[in-house]
Structure 1
């Protein structure tokens, strides 16, 4: 430990006077030159005292028994000789140390003696050496190399996902994790709910199936047999509308499967890609990247090649995200792999040219679909109408619509179209196309059975374009009347387009989108909600655009009345309700007197419940 130069001189004297040996102090003593001034003076006096008693050695003088390390270095001796010493100082040193020094000190001739020099071998013997010892440069290179020997760490064994039938079906019911009585009951209820939903999606909801699955203790997958595992994924993967909730629910089960080490089927990978790309209304680059990541994982990690469904999903999300370059690359890769186009691919190609606003491309894709032998129904014609409208060809789209109307008298009687029947109809049409390609003489009879009349999607496309894009209220009224003629029920998307039209084109004198017409649409919406019309429900988007329409065309009081009317009828999550409260506050604070009106409404709501309860209900809207 390094001694401080400010140590008291008395301490240094005590250390020097307590030395038990009369031999010369160790060299380390003289090397510490920073103890204190008094210590240095006494050390020099001590050296001069010893030098005066040193007897020069000759060749006949026997060597001293003292160890060599006790002799001072020659440099110190030369320094001490240059310093004269008085007899008084010599006597003072003798009195101070209280003993006589009889040990002779070696002269300069000792350091000039020839001593045997150790060889390299002897020096190396001090430290163990190895035969394959590397050089210093090699060791430095070793530490410079990030991989520490010029190669990356071993990747370990190549693990692949097995697609053999026995592995896909693993575990059997006898190989599942042992369960107690409570877990057996949950498994029976889960199996029953899964089978009900697979037979008829309306008999059991996906939430019901998922909640039963969540009741199992973690890890949950080992309790399920292979067959039940795949049935569970099919049950929760089938949903009428893909949203963030259904997407997170499906991916939670997928994560449990992967964490348990069980393989996924190609159909399950495709469903995951579909959820990753279609859980939002408008696909963006983020959804495209998520779908590409899953596709890469399926083919590279799981070793499962994509099929025609995979390519249709990827082509669809790339097109809707506006990444037409990627869509064309996927189209070429599909052709290189030899996948044949089916109904889905042809419709996606028509939609692709519509997004590019290429009316001639829409016609060419439609012509190719007809010549390939696929069945043409209302869905295909709706896609053509949407593409032509997006390309600015309203007259061409109107002609397609008129031809669809003309086929109404010849159309067969169809059952009510819902999500379940739509999937069945699609499978039947694909079967018709397959049989018609093998037996061309039967194709015309199959096409005669295919519905081509306007349906809800047709009117949604037309009303949205003429209401939001063009602001043509007269055409909108015409299509609403024809909806009644074709007995097409009202849908929330129709009201959503109407409210968007009032927000975009109303709010000024002389506008056809007047407050009176808005009140008529509003009355029809409330009446349809009270009658519990199928397919009509209140979500956040409907509330937002209804409030915006009243804010644009009417007064703040009408906005609050509309909010109260919808809030008494909706069934929303608490987070959605809080969001809508914040939206209402931000909407009204832009209008003169809107904040005061909102505060008065808060006072009314607080009556009978207490101010604190109302404040909690409306709390946080300033930060929304």
Structure 2
């Protein structure tokens, strides 16, 4: 066991300096929020640089005739989507090692806890004495907003903050649960420090009001503390461990398999693989079952470790456990194989999932709206348990589950070919194929492309030329004009675009692009200051591109 595991567990169990991490006395600045609009399914076909001819007889629809009659794939056929080798010898060896080590003493720390099961939970179901008309109206507004899942988190939290401290004591228990659930449901790419502080401040208020939090609420707090940063580090692991100790040792709330999944995910993404293994052993000791989400996380875990065979083994075990294979699982396999240094194997899986979808004539494509995808994931998680003994029903679920590529599939492949390899022609092929699958080229794809131009632009004999960059930039502006909500400027995209033009077209063109952005971007003062600093760096670094770099 590495030193970090022991130190983190002990520190999280004994050191009180971490408590200041979750003290939220500073004001939270609310932002104007517009409800995210559902995608209309339009691709950026008219955008410059992406025009392709209409599909002919050789299109994806014509390919569906490969199989005259659809038959539900067997477990062996599902395994065949990913090259799975014979791991029986390795599996037996791992089982022997586990039994040999299962008698090892458990390290001291927050995972070895005493649960005060005899302590009665306290519930609160009304407004405190002294509450006036203003507090009643505030609570009414919060409850009304919570009836709509699309209600702005910023708006709800701003209204909630107007209540006297401890604010949560003015809400009934059902309203508290609705509030924490609403604030815990956040789109993947919108999780940041403000989202974390918003949720953890509610937990802080609940502790101050002596109102118990549920296991799901504690788990969400751990997840936000560990995953609301771009790169998970040792600090995030310690913060999550600290919250976990509060949950089990102080609040007496027993962890579920979802709790372990959250901690395992944080440890793995921080590169703390020994800690992740320790968590797996503790989960087995508590006889907690791995759900579908956890098994998918195991695939990614081996990818992070650079273990391609482990990726295949984890996928094989997921299939054998009876879990449903869908686009999310196969996307995880693809990204994990790329991380494990096997991009060719990842593209083989990509090809097989396309063929499987085309053979399933009339089947649905993966949902594009994130809430619909979340709901599908919840359904599939329940299916493996509820339909455990109903073979036909489980086959029907597998038959109806989408396995077609989606935006995340292409994002993994384009990220590899654009950032790691710098192969513009392959990136262009994938962008054209996205149009064939009617997948719009969203803002994250432009971020990847601009990042690649920054990395490879302005280099002799490179395909990343100014002319091609201008084409991508104009296609982004056209897409933004059609859908300003989905293609809104963000600080990372703005910085990357300016860097790309600085490296490929020179500082004068970079300044012109910045002037265009500044006219249309409503940025916070701190964002503007950060961008200005990067512009100064671009000005110092690039006096202008070589004459040959402007050629197509």
> In 2, distance between residues paired with 1:288 and 1:546?
32
Query: Which residue in 2 is equivalent to 1:75?
Result: none
Instruction: Please say if residues 366 and 403 of structure 2, whose CA atoms lie closer than 8 Å, have aligned partners that are also in contact.
Output: no
Say if 2:121 is the partner of 1:172: no
Say if 2:134 is the partner of 1:182: yes
Query: Which residue in 1 is equivalent to 2:452?
Result: 501
Offset at residue 162 of structure 1 (A): 7.9
Query: Which residue in 1 is equivalent to 2:44?
Result: none
Say if 2:440 is the partner of 1:489: yes
Structure 2 portions without partners, runs of 5+? 1-113, 546-552
Q: 1:165-564 alignment to 2 at 5 Å?
A: 167=122, 170-173=123-126, 176-196=128-148, 200=149, 202=150, 204-240=151-187, 241-409=190-358, 410=360, 412-414=363-365, 416-532=367-483, 535-564=486-515
Structure 1 portions without partners, runs of 5+? 1-157, 595-624
Instruction: Please say if residues 206 and 239 of structure 1, whose CA atoms lie closer than 8 Å, have aligned partners that are also in contact.
Output: no
Offset at residue 297 of structure 1 (A): 1.3
> In 2, distance between residues paired with 1:408 and 1:534?
31
> In 2, distance between residues paired with 1:178 and 1:489?
54
Please report the TM-score for the alignment, with normalisation by the length of structure 2. Answer: 0.74
Q: 1:70-109 alignment to 2 at 5 Å?
A: none
Please report the TM-score for the alignment, with normalisation by the length of structure 1. Answer: 0.66
Offset at residue 587 of structure 1 (A): 2.1
Query: Which residue in 1 is equivalent to 2:536?
Result: 585
> In 2, distance between residues paired with 1:485 and 1:162?
61
> In 1, distance between residues paired with 2:245 and 2:159?
32
Q: Kindly indicate whether structure 1 or structure 2 has the higher relative contact order, using CA contacts under 8 Å at least 6 residues apart.
A: 2
> In 1, distance between residues paired with 2:372 and 2:504?
40
Instruction: Please say if residues 176 and 225 of structure 1, whose CA atoms lie closer than 8 Å, have aligned partners that are also in contact.
Output: no
Moved over 4 A (4+): 158-165
Instruction: Please say if residues 490 and 536 of structure 1, whose CA atoms lie closer than 8 Å, have aligned partners that are also in contact.
Output: no
Instruction: Please say if residues 490 and 533 of structure 1, whose CA atoms lie closer than 8 Å, have aligned partners that are also in contact.
Output: no
Residues paired across the two proteins, number: 428
> Residues 547 and 162 from structure 1, CA distance in 2 versus in 1: closer, same or farther, beyond 3 angstroms?
farther
Instruction: Please say if residues 232 and 270 of structure 2, whose CA atoms lie closer than 8 Å, have aligned partners that are also in contact.
Output: yes
> Residues 217 and 254 from structure 1, CA distance in 2 versus in 1: closer, same or farther, beyond 3 angstroms?
same
> In 1, distance between residues paired with 2:115 and 2:323?
42
Offset at residue 364 of structure 1 (A): 0.2
Instruction: Please say if residues 377 and 451 of structure 1, whose CA atoms lie closer than 8 Å, have aligned partners that are also in contact.
Output: yes
Deviates further, 438-447 or 251-260: 438-447
Say which one has the larger Rg: 1
Say which SS state the counterpart of residue 182 (structure 2) adopts: helix
Residues 545-564 of structure 1 deviation map (CA, whole Å, 9 limit, x = unaligned): 11111111111111111112
> In 1, distance between residues paired with 2:220 and 2:242?
14
> Residues 549 and 219 from structure 1, CA distance in 2 versus in 1: closer, same or farther, beyond 3 angstroms?
same
Residues 485-519 of structure 1 deviation map (CA, whole Å, 9 limit, x = unaligned): 11111222111111121122221221111111111
Offset at residue 243 of structure 1 (A): 0.7
Say which SS state the counterpart of residue 407 (structure 1) adopts: helix
> In 1, distance between residues paired with 2:355 and 2:205?
53
